[in-house]
Chain A
Amino acid sequence: MKLTLRYFASIREGLMISSEEWETQARTLSELRVELSARDAVYAAHLSMHRPVRMAINQVMASGEEQLVDRAEVAFFPPVTGG
């Protein structure tokens, strides 16, 4: 399925990209994260399962077990620090 990936804050800066289109076989957010971490050392450094990464599907915060849907907007970002 096709996804739009979006990155924010330190992850956006680290990957030097704010969004990209991505074709995936992954079924869940965690599977997608593992797949992206395997792309290269930079993705691994920012998205590896050891990092405190938060995720959202179609602009709603979601856990790793959440199922992906075709054409979804998937976001990766560090724990939020507003307020």
Chain B
Amino acid sequence: MDIVRIQEQSFAIHDLIDELLDSDPTVGAVVSFLGIAREMNVGTKVLNLWLEHYPGMTENSIRGMVEEARSRFQIQRIGVIHRFGHFQPTDPIVGVVVTSSHRAEAFSACQFLMDYLKVHAPFWKKEVTPDGSRWVDARHSDDDAAKKWGIDPQS
């Protein structure tokens, strides 16, 4: 069973890894990605961060991405946890874990999921800086990363 959780509370990536592995002797590789709230963004200090999302659509869209990853890669299990709400620098925001028999498919699936999530999961970051708060602009590099997988960032 894959895991998709949209939650406010924090999490530990090793707990998600343990939950997915569940002593499965067929797994030969685990790849994990942990996205963390940074202290600096585009040259400005970030005091804290607010993440808004679209309840319902968020979970459905990520479940669709997990299904798409399953159809593209030979993998065992997938786990995605994405948080919303308030963050301080160093807090975990998103965790993606993929297990498979061999490493290559796990690496690819993990990168695919993050590249997809970056352009299609309905989350928006707002940063509080010493000069006030601002919505974070999307990056062209994220659009380019998604297009490499044949994903249209706009629809």
Q: Chain A interface (Cβ within 8 Å of chain B)?
A: 6, 8-10, 52, 54, 56, 59-63, 66, 75, 77-83
Interface residue? B17 (CB, 8 A): no
Assess the A63–B118 pair: CB atoms within 8 A: no
Q: Choose from B54, B94, B155 the contact partner of A83 (Cβ within 8 Å).
A: B94
Assembly CA distance A66 to B75 (angstroms): 33
Assembly CA distance A83 to B138 (angstroms): 11
Q: A8-B52, A9-B126 known; A83 and B118 CB under 8 Å?
A: yes
Assembly CA distance A61 to B155 (angstroms): 5
> Main SS of the interface on chain B?
mixed
Interface residue? B89 (CB, 8 A): no
Mask, B114-132, CB within 8 Å of A = 1, is: 1001111111111000000
CB-nearest residue of chain B to A6: B54
Q: A8-B124, A59-B54 known; A83 and B136 CB under 8 Å?
A: no
Interface segment out of the listed B7-15, B22-30, B56-64, B104-112: B56-64
